[in-house]
Amino acid sequence: MTLNTEPTVAYLPGSYDPVTNGHLDIIHRAAALFGAVVVGVAAEAEKQHLFPLDERIAMVREGCADLPTVRVEGFSGLVVEAARAAGARLLVKGLRQACDLAHEAPMAHMNRGLRPELETVFLLSDPAHAHLSSGLIKWVCGMGGDISAHVPPQVAQRLVARLRG
């Protein structure tokens, strides 16, 4: 067995609508584990997003500004193709609860069938963030709740302006 000495590129796909402290925790931890991290922000034309792609990319970039080995880019189409274009050997997915694994495992198997050399790695959420989802954050903010503990300040400002403005 020979060791590969090239830095491992990890790809973290998601819609990040908006990015939460839970997302950023996974990104920071992946950056500590792997040589380079590419955060892929999905365009997903069939999904209704609160924020347009360019604004979601900007919010993730702001949240990762202190991580020199992380780059953020948009993508459309299959995750495995975006990961290939980024030079990634790993897909990293965060898991909050057991139901996330039930959703992510079939996708990991399909991705392995499409691109066998691409390995999926799961990172468990920090318990402090395990209840967070972008949808829940948007709902609480829209109902007037305080979301400041769950998203970066600039994201909270954008959410309040968009949902309560």
Tell me which residues are annotated as active site: 23, 47, 96, 134
**6: Cβ–Cβ under 8 A, 6 or more apart, which residues?**
35
Q: Looking up tokens 């999904």, which residue turns up? A: 47
Q: Which residues of 70-90 are buried (b: 16+ CB within 10 A; e: fewer)?
A: bebeebeeebbebbbebebbb
Strands (E), 4-157: 9-14, 36-42, 70-75, 90-95, 119-124
Cβ-based neighbour number of residue 150 at 10 Å: 21
